[in-house]
């Protein structure tokens, strides 16, 4: 197996940043276009693959010579006994990775805002009636540590009337 890509559609060529001319001239090498750390794992997987058997690859990134995108192989299959021909499904995961990074940043900012807010904030899991999180202001207000508050059943810190009103309110919203 010489690792040359002999046929590809326009989208694949766009993904990896090569032209039809470069494909026709044998310039596309399967292993040179991927991250080195994944190559060993991929070669072992390909050697054990039997014709028409599908393998799923968790992550194999293509190095595009002309773009800053990340691509992931989702599955591949060999088509013949000699292991010379195969088919690969590839997805552009750049947007998903960008969204994951933005979500993580947003979650960190939210957590920071809640933790350092001057307003007492106490997050409760209504369905299982557990304490989810508590900020420093709430801890100071009740003179309990955060750990103590998280170990308490949320309704236990309420007086009888507040507990009754809270439980009735939860029943109205089906929690």
Global pTM value: 0.53
pLDDT at 58: 44
Question: For 47, which DSSP code?
Answer: H
Q: How far is CA 121 from the centre of its chain?
A: 29
Tens of pLDDT, residues 36-86? 545 555 555 555 555 555 555 544 555 556 666 666 666 666 666 665 666
Tens of pLDDT, residues 89-100? 677 777 888 899
CB atoms within 10 A of CB 167: 13
Mean pLDDT of 28-36: 69
How large a percentage of the chain has pLDDT more than 90?
30
């Amino acid at each position: 197996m010489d690792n040359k890509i002999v046929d590809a559609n326009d989208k694949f060529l766009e993904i990896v940043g090569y032209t039809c001319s470069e494909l026709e001239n044998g310039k596309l090498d399967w292993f040179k276009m991927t991250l080195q750390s994944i190559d060993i794992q991929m070669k072992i997987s390909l050697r054990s693959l039997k014709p028409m058997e599908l393998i799923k690859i968790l992550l194999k990134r293509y190095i595009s010579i002309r773009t800053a995108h990340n691509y992931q192989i989702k599955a591949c299959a060999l088509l013949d006994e000699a292991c010379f021909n195969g088919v690969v499904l590839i997805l552009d995961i750049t947007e998903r990775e960008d969204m994951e990074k933005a979500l993580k940043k947003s979650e960190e900012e939210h957590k920071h805002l809640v933790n350092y807010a001057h307003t007492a904030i106490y997050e409760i899991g209504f369905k299982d009636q557990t304490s989810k999180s508590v900020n420093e202001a709430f801890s100071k207000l009740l003179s309990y540590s955060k750990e103590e508050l998280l170990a308490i059943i949320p309704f236990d810190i309420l007086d009888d009337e507040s507990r009754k009103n809270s439980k009735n309110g939860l029943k109205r919203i089906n929690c």
